Amino acid sequence: MSRVLIIGAGGVGSVVVHKCCQVPEVFSDIMLASRTKAKCDAIAARLPRPIQTARVDADQVDELVALMGEFKPELCINVALPYQDLTIMDACLACGVHYVDTANYEPRDEAKFEYKWQWDYQDRFKQAGLMALLGSGFDPGVTNVFTAWARKHHFDEIHELDIIDCNAGDHGQPFATNFNPEINIREVTAPARHWEGGKWIETPALSTAEEFDFPEGIGPRKIYLMYHEELESLTRHFPGLRKARFWMTFSDNYLRHLEVLQNVGMTSIKPIDYNGQQIVPLQFLKAVLPDPASLGPLTHGRTCIGCLIKGIKDGKEKKYYIYNICDHGKCYEEVGAQAVSYTTGVPAMIGAMLMLTGAWRGAGVFNMEQLDPAPFMEKLNLHGLPWTEVIL
Ligand SMILES: NC(=O)c1ccc[n+]([C@@H]2O[C@H](COP(=O)([O-])OP(=O)(O)OC[C@H]3O[C@@H](n4cnc5c(N)ncnc54)[C@H](OP(=O)(O)O)[C@@H]3O)[C@@H](O)[C@H]2O)c1
């Protein structure tokens, strides 16, 4: 029986609150708070049980502290934007609340994401006897747990890790992103970076592509090398990794639109003067693109996200692939959201559940791979994200 505060009433937040409602024995009292209270109320109206809603500007620590002081949550799930990670962590420290998020902190004025800012909270969370769980989405999140599981059960040494994220779904829109457009476009247009031979290697965005044959009828797709935040924590926590890369599929249509938008300056995060007003082109672009939360009924097809791992077991070379396939239409039927929101929201709920039930407990700041993968893997199968492993 626990009180949980969920911050962010977007595509992911809607899934988190639906999934928490399905587990009343753990999440007995739920509050959904966001910048726009009407969005929280619209989500609450679709839920099978009552929750509380509130307006909060999560950039303001004092507003968060006031809300937490009133609602008195045991744990806060942050599914607002990466810009709010530090203010929400500050408020959790001030109010004695455990913390979970799905994306690492990014400063607004620089498209740069790294764990340093949040790892710096280690001593403060430890001293307060509180736990902060970082990156409890799918990637980061499940991909970190998949790697920890593989290391524990299938390998003595892991040498190579390829995280491969495929969205084989189609929403029928000329151009739309499956999660927050501003965050998505900042991520995709950043230079690619991978770990090889003990150092980071940077290459221009979307300049390296290969083909990967996805399982269960999805078939061959072009995958593009990118940088993703779990590479930073996984190379730190599995120092035997010689190579670690992150790949994502994009349709030719998505890439064509993105190239034009970039060429005309619409993806820039540098403010410009427009009729005497400062606007950020990427934020303006977000305002005219479809809201990812609206793509649920339009999206068909499946996602397939997994880890391809090479290493040594019992003195022999081994190759192993572990993945989840998620159907956009089935997610929509269950919680009214497409699979990209679903695959992020379910692990956020599971991470919170494991902390609240004591299966994952600790004081300090944790990445997912630092905790026992077993209970998380069990809950994935029970709560809508079953996984499959293949020895290749
Ligand atoms: N790990 C993973 O696998 C993974 C995958 C996808 C997404 N993510 C992360 O999940 C998070 C949510 O993504 P999403 O697609 O749900 O985004 P979204 O649809 O844009 O929703 C974000 C929500 O946060 C709210 N918000 C923004 N700034 C706020 C503030 N200052 N105070 C209070 N609320 C604020 C927004 O409120 P308004 O609508 O009122 O502005 C919106 O409802 C992002 O951090 C994203 O990076 C992680």
Q: Does 2 contact ligand 1 (Cβ within 6 A)?
A: no
Distance 181 CA to ligand 1 centre (A): 10
Distance 309 CA to ligand 1 centre (A): 31
- What is the reported pLDDT for 1? 77
pLDDT band at 182 (very low <50, low <70, confident <90, very high): confident
Q: Does 103 contact ligand 1 (Cβ within 6 A)?
A: yes
Smallest CA separation from ligand 1 atom 27, residue: 80
How many angstroms separate the CA atoms of 297 and 187, rounded?
25
Kindly give the number of the ligand 1 atom that is closest to the alpha carbon of 59.
Answer: 31
How many angstroms separate the CA atoms of 242 and 162, rounded?
11
How many angstroms separate the CA atoms of 226 and 244, rounded?
11
Kindly give the number of the ligand 1 atom that is closest to the alpha carbon of 82.
Answer: 45
Q: Does 353 contact ligand 1 (Cβ within 6 A)?
A: no
Residues 363-379, mean pLDDT to the nearest whole number: 98
How many angstroms separate the CA atoms of 205 and 145, rounded?
27
Q: Give the DSSP per-residue string, 56-94.
A: --TT-HHHHHHHHHHH--SEEEE-S-GGGHHHHHHHHHH
Q: Does 58 contact ligand 1 (Cβ within 6 A)?
A: yes
Kindly give the number of the ligand 1 atom that is closest to the alpha carbon of 135.
Answer: 1
Kindly give the number of the ligand 1 atom that is closest to the alpha carbon of 80.
Answer: 24
State yes or no: pLDDT of 361 exceeds 90.
yes
Cα 163 → chain centroid: 14
Six token digits for residue 191? 């230079």
Q: Does 347 contact ligand 1 (Cβ within 6 A)?
A: no
Sign of the CA dihedral with 49 first, then 50, 53, and 58 last:
negative
Q: Does 136 contact ligand 1 (Cβ within 6 A)?
A: no
Smallest CA separation from ligand 1 atom 37, residue: 35
Distance 139 CA to ligand 1 centre (A): 15
- What is the reported pLDDT for 274? 94
Smallest CA separation from ligand 1 atom 1, residue: 137
392 contacts: CB under 8 Å, gap ≥ 6? 319, 320, 321
265 φ/ψ sector (left φ>0, alpha ψ -120 to 50, else beta): left
pLDDT band at 235 (very low <50, low <70, confident <90, very high): very high
State yes or no: pLDDT of 275 exceeds 90.
yes
- What is the reported pLDDT for 109? 82
pLDDT band at 2 (very low <50, low <70, confident <90, very high): very high
Q: Does 35 contact ligand 1 (Cβ within 6 A)?
A: yes
Residues 193-208, mean pLDDT to the nearest whole number: 96
Six token digits for residue 180? 């927050």
Contact 295, 178 (CB under 8 A): yes
Cα 14 → chain centroid: 14
- What is the reported pLDDT for 138? 98
Q: Does 100 contact ligand 1 (Cβ within 6 A)?
A: no
Smallest CA separation from ligand 1 atom 36, residue: 8
- What is the reported pLDDT for 44? 98
Smallest CA separation from ligand 1 atom 17, residue: 180
Q: Rounded mean pLDDT of the chain?
A: 95
Kindly give the number of the ligand 1 atom that is closest to the alpha carbon of 13.
Answer: 16
Six token digits for residue 223? 């995958």
Question: Which single residue is written with the structure tokens 């034009």?
Answer: 260
pLDDT in tens, 99-151: 999 999 999 887 778 999 999 999 999 999 999 999 999 999 999 999 999 99
Q: Does 57 contact ligand 1 (Cβ within 6 A)?
A: yes
3-state helix, strand, coil in the chain (%, to 5): 40, 30, 30
More confident residue, 124 or 171: 124
Distance 118 CA to ligand 1 centre (A): 18
- What is the reported pLDDT for 379? 98
- What is the reported pLDDT for 230? 97
How many angstroms separate the CA atoms of 255 and 267, rounded?
13
State yes or no: pLDDT of 296 exceeds 90.
no
Smallest CA separation from ligand 1 atom 41, residue: 35
State yes or no: pLDDT of 6 exceeds 90.
yes
Nearest to 154 by CA among 385, 325, 389: 389
State yes or no: pLDDT of 169 exceeds 80.
yes
Smallest CA separation from ligand 1 atom 21, residue: 10
How many angstroms separate the CA atoms of 16 and 14, rounded?
6
pLDDT band at 301 (very low <50, low <70, confident <90, very high): very high
Q: What is the dihedral of CA 211, 214, 220, 225, to 10 degrees?
A: -30
Domains and CATH numbers, the chain: 2-137+349-356 (3.40.50.720), 142-338 (3.30.360.10)
- What is the reported pLDDT for 185? 86
Nearest to 198 by CA among 234, 161, 242, 164: 242
70 contacts: CB under 8 Å, gap ≥ 6? none
pLDDT in tens, 61-74: 999 999 999 999 99
Residue 305, SS3 per DSSP: strand
Q: Which helix (H) or strand (E) holds 380?
A: helix 373-382
State yes or no: pLDDT of 293 exceeds 90.
no
Distance 122 CA to ligand 1 centre (A): 24
Distance 152 CA to ligand 1 centre (A): 33
Nearest to 324 by CA among 206, 184, 166, 178: 166
Residues 162-183, mean pLDDT to the nearest whole number: 89
Residues 26-51, mean pLDDT to the nearest whole number: 97
How many angstroms separate the CA atoms of 178 and 125, rounded?
33
* C-beta pairs of 187-190 under 8 Å, 24+ apart in sequence: 187/113, 187/226, 187/228, 188/226, 188/248, 188/250, 188/258, 189/111, 189/258, 189/262, 189/267, 190/111, 190/112, 190/226, 190/227
Q: Does 183 contact ligand 1 (Cβ within 6 A)?
A: yes
Burial of 47 (0-12, 13-18, 19+ CB in 10 A): middle
- What is the reported pLDDT for 178? 80
Q: Which residues pair with residue 2 across a beta bridge?
A: 27
Residues 235-259, mean pLDDT to the nearest whole number: 94
Six token digits for residue 232? 């930073």
Question: Which single residue is written with the structure tokens 């994009």?
Answer: 250
